[in-house]
């Protein structure tokens, strides 16, 4: 491996992590974003997201002169060319949100390709790191219309909250291209990581990302449905999944029930795969069923809260512990906690929410919830407390003190996170998910 000149377009969870990590591996990187204020903050080393070790890496990259920022994709290529030389590899890490009918919307990707096509140096490699429909690499090549520029698919598998660690210690690196030299150049960028690397065709690489994410979402839907059945039959889902997980073909991970799965990837990728299959003349029933199970899970949790509040939440104060889609992140996108919150709000509940990753209300996302910055404020006068995100610090709360603040001492623990004995000793009735 020798250092490359790299442009990264989009500085969100994927783009900024990619840029900072590649800079730390010795490459010269220019990261671009459309948001000038974001770029300004990044130049000062302010990353604007909760992501373990990322701020330190960005700071180190800036200090070493290997990480710079620009406003806009074209500007990034020009700035890199001026500072270090023309970009040899350009990573596209822009959003591919859910579009009409559930398909991934490629508008931003296509606009970026349009923007850079004329300024790409001969021999450059354009890499799709965003999650894109199968066939996007081929369409990107068509849009570029450049025989001297190759396109590679290199899907990203990092998880928010541990993005840097996942990038630096990946389970695998998947690189797909119909141009061998381009795939090898991209794979070589990661050679220091020593991860298993799969070189394949572009369409298969694009499919791997959907196949993996949707499998994980289906696994969670299965476990959530199983937890419902356990509850009805008097079995304990924690015991059941432990027994299942010892089977090496299944494994212990992704076997914990919860209020539903969410985040910026699973829901949109599930809908996108359904659309991809539909476009190919196939009804992917498993995906459809898993999506429905997820909605059922939200409803089931809301129903539990209603039951705990004596049959109705109308006009009752309900304390929500956790708003983000999982612990360790500040990301509220498609959070199952908020989905449950919306159901309770529709039933007339007076919601107060506390989350260590979300200290204040975010218009458009937390609407209907009074966001407070300490758990005591969420507990005060509550007819029920609902644990919706698996923040480990919830285990350490002073539950005896909270019991004195609530109206009714009942906790619905949708993550089976807390120790029921501790809760009972503190005076709470504790209800988990799928537990006898």
Nearest partner of 30 among 75, 64, 93, judged by Cα: 75
Residue nearest to ligand NAD (CB): 12
Determine, following the binding rule CB under 6 A, whether residue 394 of this chain makes contact with ligand NAD: no
In whole angstroms, how close is the CB of 159 to ligand NAD at the nearest point?
A: 6
Q: Classify residue 118 by its DSSP letter.
A: T
Report the C-alpha gap between 34 and 140 in whole angstroms. 20
Residue 34 within binding range of ligand NAD, rule CB under 6 A: yes
Q: Within 13 Å, how many C-alpha atoms sit on residue 236's CB side?
A: 8
Can you tell me whether residue 407 is helix, strand or coil?
Answer: coil
- Which 3-state string (H, E, C) describes 16-60? HHHHHHHHHCCCEEEEEECCHHHHHHHHCCCCCCCCCCHHHHHHH
Q: Which of 23, 27, 80, 96 binds ligand NAD (CB under 6 A)?
A: 96
Site pattern 285..304 for ligand NAD (x: CB under 6 A):
--------------------
Q: How far is CA 362 from CA 18, 265, 332, 375, in A?
A: 27, 20, 9, 18
Does 75 sit near ligand NAD (CB under 6 A)? Answer: no
| 292: its two tokens | 């429905």
Task: Give, as ranges, the residues between 245 and 264 that touch ligand NAD (CB under 6 A).
Answer: 264
The phi and psi torsions of 37 (rounded to 5 degrees) equal -70, -35
Q: What is the footprint of ligand NAD within residues 126-165 (CB under 6 A)?
A: 130-131, 156, 158-160
> Per CB under 6 A, which region of 26-34, 50-58, 169-177, 301-309 contacts ligand NAD?
26-34
Q: Does 32 bind ligand NAD (CB under 6 A)?
A: yes
Spot the catalytic one: 93, 214, 230, 265. 265
Residues in the chain: 436
The reply to whether 40 sits near ligand NAD by the rule CB under 6 A is: no
Phi, psi torsion values for 353, nearest 5 degrees: -120, 140
Half-sphere exposure of 170 (CA within 13 A, CB side): 23
Q: Least distance (Å) from ligand NAD to the CB of residue 413? A: 26
Out of 6, 7, 8, 9, the residue judged to bind ligand NAD by CB under 6 A: 9
CB-CB neighbours of 159 under 10 Å = 14
**Per rule CB under 6 A, is residue 12 in the interface with ligand NAD?**
yes
338/386 Cα distance (integer angstroms): 12
- Residue 68 contacts ligand NAD per CB under 6 A: no
Toward ligand NAD, which CB reaches closer, 92 or 320?
92
Are 361 and 337 in contact by the 8 Å Cβ rule? The answer is no
Rule CB under 6 A: choose which of 95, 102, 368, 420 binds ligand NAD.
95
Q: Can residue 111 be called a binding residue for ligand NAD (CB under 6 A)?
A: yes
Is residue 103 involved in binding ligand NAD (CB under 6 A)? Answer: no
What is the closest distance, in whole angstroms, from the C-beta atom of residue 274 to ligand NAD in the complex?
16
Q: Report in angstroms how near the CB of residue 394 gets to ligand NAD at its nearest.
A: 23
**Rule CB under 6 A: is residue 13 a binding residue for ligand NAD?**
yes
Q: Decide if residue 381 touches ligand NAD (CB under 6 A).
A: no
Q: Does 328 bind ligand NAD (CB under 6 A)?
A: no
Per CB under 6 A, 108 contacts ligand NAD: yes
Residue whose CB is less far from ligand NAD, 94 or 305: 94
User: E-assigned strands of 154-241?
Assistant: 173-176, 197-200
Contacts 24+ apart (CB under 8 A), 63-68: 64/23, 66/23, 66/26, 66/27, 66/28, 66/29, 67/19, 67/20, 67/23, 67/29, 67/30, 67/31, 68/29, 68/30, 68/31, 68/43
Kindly indicate which of the ranges 6-14, 187-195, 335-343, 346-354 contains the residues binding ligand NAD, using the contact rule CB under 6 A: 6-14
Distance CA 343, CA 340 (A): 5
265 binds ligand NAD (CB under 6 A): yes
- Please, what is the minimum distance in Å from the beta carbon of residue 74 to ligand NAD? 9
Q: Which is nearer to ligand NAD, 156 or 390 (CB)?
A: 156
> Is residue 265 annotated as a catalytic residue, yes or no?
yes
When asked if residue 324 is in the footprint of ligand NAD (CB under 6 A), the reply is: no
Binding-site size for ligand NAD (CB under 6 A) equals: 28
Binding site for ligand NAD (CB under 6 A): 9-15, 32-35, 38, 73, 93-96, 108, 111-112, 130-131, 156, 158-160, 264-265
Q: Where in the sequence numbering do the catalytic residues fall?
A: 265
């Amino acid at each position: 491996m020798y250092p490359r000149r790299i442009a990264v377009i989009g500085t969100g969870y994927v783009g900024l992590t990619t840029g900072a990590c590649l800079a730390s591996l010795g490459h010269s990187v220019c990261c671009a974003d459309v948001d000038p204020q974001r770029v300004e903050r990044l130049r000062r080393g302010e990353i604007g997201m909760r992501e373990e070790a990322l701020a330190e890496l960005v700071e180190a990259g800036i200090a070493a002169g290997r990480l710079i920022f620009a406003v806009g994709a074209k500007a990034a290529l020009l700035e890199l060319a001026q500072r270090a030389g023309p970009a040899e590899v350009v990573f596209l890490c822009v959003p591919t949100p859910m579009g009409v009918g559930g398909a991934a919307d490629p508008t931003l990707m296509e606009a970026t390709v349009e923007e850079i096509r004329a300024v790409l140096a001969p021999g450059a490699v354009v890499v799709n790191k965003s999650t894109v429909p199968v066939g996007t690499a081929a369409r990107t090549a068509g849009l570029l219309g450049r025989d001297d520029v190759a396109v590679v698919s290199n899907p990203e598998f990092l998880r928010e909250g541990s993005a840097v660690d996942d990038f630096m210690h990946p389970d695998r690196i998947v690189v797909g291209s119909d141009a061998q030299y381009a795939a090898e150049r991209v794979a070589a960028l990661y050679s220091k990581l020593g991860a298993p690397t799969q070189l394949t065709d572009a369409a298969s690489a694009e499919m791997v990302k959907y196949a993996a994410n949707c499998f994980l979402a289906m696994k969670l839907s299965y476990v959530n449905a199983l937890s419902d059945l356990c509850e009805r039959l008097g079995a304990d889902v924690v015991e059941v999944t432990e027994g299942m997980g010892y089977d090496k073909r299944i494994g212990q991970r992704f076997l914990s029930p919860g209020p539903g799965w969410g985040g910026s990837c699973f829901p949109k990728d599930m809908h996108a795969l359904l659309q991809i299959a539909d476009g190919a003349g196939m009804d992917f029933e498993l995906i459809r069923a898993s999506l429905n199970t997820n909605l059922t899970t939200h409803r089931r949790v809301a129903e539990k809260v209603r039951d705990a509040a004596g049959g109705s939440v109308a006009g009752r104060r309900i304390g929500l512990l956790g708003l983000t889609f999982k612990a360790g992140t500040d990301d509220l996108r498609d959070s199952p906690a908020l989905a449950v919150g919306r159901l309770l709000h529709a039933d007339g509940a007076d919601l107060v929410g506390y989350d260590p990753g979300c200290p204040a209300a975010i218009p458009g996302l937390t609407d209907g919830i009074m966001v407070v910055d300490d758990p005591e404020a969420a507990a005060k006068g509550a007819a029920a407390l609902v644990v919706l995100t698996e923040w480990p610090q919830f285990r350490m709360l002073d539950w005896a003190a909270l019991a004195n603040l609530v109206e009714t001492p009942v906790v619905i623990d949708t993550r089976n996170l807390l120790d029921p004995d501790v809760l009972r000793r503190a005076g709470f009735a504790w209800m988990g998910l799928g537990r006898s």
